[in-house]
Amino acid sequence: MTAELLADDSLTGWAIGYTIGIVVVLVVVALVVPILFLARSIGQQALAIDDALQQAVTNTAPLAELHTTIESADVIVAGLAHGRERLGG
């Protein structure tokens, strides 16, 4: 009879262990799945942001030549001022 009681206790222990293990796995899955969905969403938004930044680089590239335009405008204004002085204005 003692062997039967030990066998029952052993089976109960295994059942409790499996139950706890399953609960732990379910909790981990419940915590990880939303994180994975959030990471996927962030990744998609990052691609959209990168595309917008690439477009901004393309759209603002001509600003690099703004210094040349300002220098040309200064030369033109100086020439106009010199012409005005020569005409007596």
pLDDT tens for 33-42 read 999 999 999 9
Q: What is the 3-state secondary structure (H, E, C) of 60-82?
A: HHHHHHHHHHHHHHHHHHHHHHH
Residues 6+ apart with CB under 8 A from 6: none
pLDDT tens for 40-51 read 999 999 999 999
Quickly state the pLDDT bin for 9 (edges 50, 70, 90): low
